[in-house]
Structure 1
Amino acid sequence: MEKYAHIFDTRRLNTDLKKRSLRSGAVTLGSQALMFIIQLGSTMILARILSPQDYGINAMAMTITGFAGMFSSFGLSTATVQRSDITHEQVSTLFWINVLIGFLITLFTAVISPAAAWFYKTPELLWVMLTLSLIFVITGMGVQHQALLTRQMRFFSIVIINVISTLAGVVVAIITGYYGFGYWALVFNLLTFVSLNTIGYWYFCKWIPGLPRRHSGVGAMIRFGSSLVGSNVVNYFPRHLDNVLIGRSHGSDALGLYSKAYQLLMMPITNLRNPLTRVAIPSLSRLQDNPEQYRDYFLKCVSLLAFISMPLVTFMFVFSDQLISLLLGTQWIGASEIFKILALAAFIQPVASTSEMVLVSSGQGRLFLVLSVATAVVTCLSFAIGLPWGPKGVALAYALANYLLFFPIFYYTFKNTAITLGHMAGAVYKPVFSSLLMGGTCVVLVVPFMDDLNNLFWLPAGLFLSAAAYLVSFAVFPGGLDELRESWAYGKLVFERNK
């Protein structure tokens, strides 16, 4: 019997997949709540220590290192997770491919660092990028270990790794920021996080790669991974070209305000969406042969994501001035209008991102690439159209592009599945209208009285009223009360099993 057979054989996970997914989702969501608190606390502290210019320089560096990072895993982590059967020899070969790619990307990033500093007209960027180039070698050594943990649905181990790494990175950033290191605090934060992540994956996975083998049968996995890389690279441009254009045309201060508004808005959304996606993709991959169960599981994911994210974004839209003042400080109030415009896009973004769950879990890498190209073209054009009006114009154009793309993307995503646009609409209509009713209630009953940004009474009052208005509105819709009861029952079940 193969030494690591227990690591690669996942057939036992197909037994009681629903309960495993529920438990894994609960653990991951709980960890994300903790990480959100850590990130929020660090944001409140660092935003008062560092300047918009510091964040702008960091954002400039991340647009380039982030692009290079698209090639770091080369989609091979997803290929390992998605594959029904896999061997030690195959994963070992993929491991060494990831290490080699990481080393090459580090060299490439170091070489282009002077050009990046010239492009942005920011000399400080040179040494920032040279330092950040190290993350690719470090990340490459942990890609397959993380994939194996995900494949085994060992999400609690991943949770421990992420929480410890995040907390350590935050502590390093706060200490270095306090002692006047400026934008370097953000660089040290990322290096600490990435290093501890890789160490943690090795510690928990207990798998040691062997030597690469030429005929190990990884060709199909590399082709699948390369399709995902192509899709991710294409997706990267619409997600980061706005930062490139704003940084080049309007400087680090304007980019700092824009990027911080986007980061603050996406912080809670990412902490909701990412754990759900990590749990959903391996679960959906194992339901490919049962179209009805696949459809029902996917719609549950969409419904859950919409139920939480849409009212949350609506609340942030209505109380944007108060949130910016409280979380970042009054020196960041210029980011408030950008924050509000971006919230229009964020209202549907979490649900829109679920198309990736279907395309990846069903192995439709080529369609994923085609749709990614179409999305990139439309979004990048919107950035170019909005750029003359500065960060606000870019934000508004981006929001409009998101709504324009929503239905066409899902039409083609569902074409070869048992899911329809009607199913999708049925899963989200209650959260959509309940959130709008909630927002209208707050605008009428709370906003007219918020004349002092420093009066902290209105945020908890608005939060209480928002929650009450949302739940009442949701319960009024047909089947809404039953869904709330079911969610409550699931919550109790998860709590009892994780005591």
Structure 2
Amino acid sequence: MDNREEEKESSLKKKTAKGLFFGGLSNAIQQIIGFLFGLYVARNLLSPSDYGTISLLTIFALIATAFQESGFVMGLVNKREVSHKDYNAVFWCSLSISTLLYIALFFLAPFIADFYEKVELTALSRFLFISFWLGSFSIAHNAYLYRHLMVAERSIVMLSALIVSNIAGLIFAYYGFAYWSLAIQTVVYTFVSSSMFFYFSKFRPTLHIDFSPIKDIYKFSSKILITNIFIHINNNIYASVLGKFFSKQQIGFISQASKWNNMGQSLITNMINNVIQPVLNQIHDDENRQVRVFRKLLNFTSFVAFIMLFGLAAVAGDFIRITLTDKWIESARYVRILCIGGAFATINNVFSNLILTKGQSSIYMFNIVGFGILQFLILILCKDFGLELSIMLISTLNLLWIFIWYVIVKRFIAFGLMQLISDVFTYVFLAGIACAAAAFLSQSISLLFVRFSTCILASGVFYLLLNKIFKPDILTEIINFAKGSLIKKK
């Protein structure tokens, strides 16, 4: 490798590390803030039924959001050259689509309420759906920040919107607005984030409307649109599918369990997603470098995901008792299963991002759609046997789906089965041993807080020791990066 190539490699490492650092820090802070606000509200102000009510509508708002976004963000990010004309076309197209969708859903609201046999959903849905209309104003601006790797600015947007919306939700919950407070929180979040995306982006829409660039962008983004719809369905399938067959309280328990699993997943996937596509696209023509970067990101994701989510599964019962009190304890059994499946889902996310950088949005779409259909069939066919069996099967499906992605990915890059085992399943093994040993060590402790703390601490210590023995490379890279950052600060 000559000096020029070494400089490029070093520059890319710095960009990736910076993106991971800011993305990770931002997501950690967001999760902590969301955790604290959500904890207080769930413990003291709202009931499982309140969460169950709002979760019935979440899927409709998310699908509408997917239509208004239409895959334009990824379409713009993966386009080789982007001009003001492209951003302007996306802005007006997104706004037009979302306006039509809101009008349609406004009139469909009574039918949604009739389907779930809950009359209160009519007014609630009409208000909640305002959120995706407000979000349409920031699609092009968000794409601008993402394409230019403005991770810090995107982090500020998300963090600010989260703080303001959580405060609003807390105030309205305190004054007895029940599930309405959750809807208000969602609308406020979208309004604040849209405003701030506009502020940080250098793009400004003009009245010179030309939709001609949409045709070129849509060749890629149309598949992303269909995929995003299924991703939202997959992530919110329990409430949307089972809400017809189970009580609001039961849906509230499974929604709360999904929330904790999703928080753990998003802490990792959002951090990775902030950098993976822009970075891999920069080295699109150098396959060897792309493989090296991909494998490092895969190792990093596996290193963090399995210990974090397996660890949460190990302490699920104590965690729910400490955070939400015994009134939510039924959700703990769902948390255990969902977190195990969620850890494997984070790996699937890395594979899917690589496929997108290869321009294979059709493969990405069919893969996500196939997973969604299987997940739907599992829930419908197994609903009479209880929620636990359905969730176990879906978690197993997440594990098996890694091999589906592996077969696809190896068609595009040099990535063998032994590399998959080394980059992913070694961490499954090490995290599993660490968490099992910690759970065994702490199970005889009778004091709740002591048992919980011991299990968490022991899991981390055992995991680091096992990695030091069997997988020292990832630890060395993380330590070197941390040392480098500290030296620069000094």
Bin of the TM-score, shorter chain as denominator length: over 0.9
In structure 2, distance between residues paired with 1:415 and 1:223: 22
Name the SS of the counterpart of 1:250 in structure 2: coil
Contact preservation (8 Å) 2:238, 2:255: no
Residue among 451, 472, 484 paired with 1:481: 472
Instruction: Give the alignment's TM-score, normalised by structure 2.
Output: 0.94
Instruction: Give the whole-Å Cα distance in 1 for the aligned partners of 2:343 and 2:144.
Output: 33
- Which of 8, 19, 27 is matched with 2:22 structurally? 27
The aligned amino acid for 2:14 is K
Distance 1:185 1:14, change over 3 A: farther
Task: Report the CA distance shift for 1:146/1:473 in structure 2 as closer, same or farther (over 3 A).
Answer: same
Q: TM-score, normalised by structure 1?
A: 0.93
Once residues 120 and 149 of structure 2 are traced to their aligned partners in structure 1, the CA distance between those partners, rounded to angstroms, is 42
Task: Give the RMSD, CA atoms, in angstroms.
Answer: 1.9
State the AA in 2 paired with 1:229: L
> 1:212 deviation in Å?
4.8
Partner of 2:68, secondary structure, is: coil
- Aligned counterpart, 2:184: 188
User: Is 1:172 the counterpart of 2:168 in the alignment?
Assistant: yes
Judged with a 3 Å threshold, the aligned counterparts in structure 2 of structure 1 residues 102 and 496 are, in CA distance, closer, same or farther, namely farther
Amino acid at match of 1:397: L
User: In 1, are the aligned partners of 2:226 and 2:365 still within 8 Å (CA)?
Assistant: yes
In 2: Cα distance, 1:420 partner to 1:332 partner: 44
DSSP 3-state at the match of 1:71: helix
Distance 1:31 1:233 in 2: 26
Q: Structure 2: how far apart are the matches of 1:14 and 1:100?
A: 42
Question: What residue number does 2:4 align with?
Answer: none
Return 403-412 or 125-134, whichever deviates more: 403-412
Q: Which residue in 1 is equivalent to 2:382?
A: 386
**Equivalence for 2:242:** 246
Does the CA-based 8 Å contact 1:299-1:424 persist in structure 2? no
- In the other structure, the counterpart of 2:155 is 159
Q: Provide the rounded CA distance (Å) in 2 between the counterparts of 1:115 and 1:497.
A: 59
Q: Establish whether residue 281 from structure 1 lines up as the match of residue 274 from structure 2.
A: no
1:462 is matched with: 455
Cα distance in 2 for residues equivalent to 1:22 and 1:124: 48
8 Å Cα contact 1:98/1:141 also seen in 2:
yes
Q: Per the alignment, in what secondary structure is the counterpart of residue 72 of structure 1? A: helix
Please tell me whether the aligned partners of residues 117 and 124 of structure 1 are also in contact (alpha carbons under 8 angstroms): yes
On the 8 A contact 2:53/2:179 being kept in 1, the answer is yes
Task: Measure how far apart 1:127 and its partner are.
Answer: 1.2
The offset of 1:392, in angstroms, is 1.8
In 1: Cα distance, 2:53 partner to 2:276 partner: 35
8 A contact 2:58–2:236 mirrored in 1: no
**Residues of 2 paired with 1:122 and 1:498: CA distance?**
57
Judge which range, 143-152 or 428-437, deviates more: 428-437
CA contact (8 A) 1:132 1:191 kept: yes
Matched, 1:369 2:365: yes
| Within-5 A mapping of 1:433-444 | 433-444=429-440
- Shift of the 15–296 alpha-carbon distance from structure 1 to 2, 3 Å rule, reads closer
Verify: 1:86 aligned to 2:82, yes or no. Answer: yes
Following superposition, the deviation at residue 29 of structure 1 comes to: 0.8
Deviation at residue 433 of structure 1 after TM alignment: 1.5
Whole-Å separation in 2 of the counterparts to 1:32 and 1:393: 32
Q: Does 1:36 align with 2:31?
A: yes
Equivalent AA in structure 1 for residue 477 of structure 2: E
C-alpha contact 1:242 1:394 (8 A) present in aligned 2? no
Partner of 1:490: 481
How many residues align? The count is 483
Q: Which of 290, 309, 326 is matched with 2:286 structurally?
A: 290
1:206-285 map, 5 Å: 206-214=202-210, 216-285=212-281
Residue 496 of structure 1: how far off its partner (Å)? 4.3
Structure 2 Cα separation of the partners of residues 112 and 219 of structure 1: 30
Amino acid paired to 1:334: E
In the superposition, relative to structure 1, how do residues 458 and 414 fare at CA in structure 2: closer, same or farther (>3 Å)?
same
Q: Point out where structure 2 has 5 or more consecutive residues left out of the alignment.
A: 1-7
2:324 corresponding residue in structure 1: 328
> Separation in 1 of the partners of 2:183 and 2:27?
22
In the TM superposition, residue 214 of structure 1 has moved relative to its aligned partner by: 4.1
Alignment partners' CA distance in 1, 2:136 and 2:371: 28
SS across alignment from 2:176? coil
How far residue 15 of structure 1 moved from its aligned partner, in angstroms, is 8.9
Cα gap change, 1:329/1:224 in structure 2, threshold over 3 Å: closer, same or farther?
Answer: same
2:42·2:324 contact (CA, 8 Å) conserved in 1?
yes
Offset from partner CA, 1:178-197 (integer Å, 9 cap, x none): 11110011111111110010
Instruction: Tell me if structure 2 keeps the 8 A contact 1:65–1:109.
Output: no
Q: In 1, distance between residues paired with 2:169 and 2:236? A: 23
Distance 2:51 2:101 in 1: 24
In the alignment, the residues of structure 2 paired with residue 292 and residue 76 of structure 1 have an alpha-carbon distance, to the nearest angstrom, of 29
Aligned counterparts of 1:128 and 1:493: Cα–Cα separation in 2: 51
* Distance change >3 Å, CA 180–CA 213, structure 1 → 2: closer
Choose which of 407, 410, 434 in structure 2 pairs with 1:411. Answer: 407
**Counterpart amino acid of residue 494 in structure 1:** S
The CA deviation string for residues 399-418 of structure 1, in whole angstroms up to 9 with x for no partner, is 12222322023211331223
Describe the superposition over 1:468-495 as per-residue Cα deviations: whole angstroms up to 9, x where unpaired: 1111111111xx2343122101122234
Structure 1 distance, partners of 2:255, 2:428, is 27
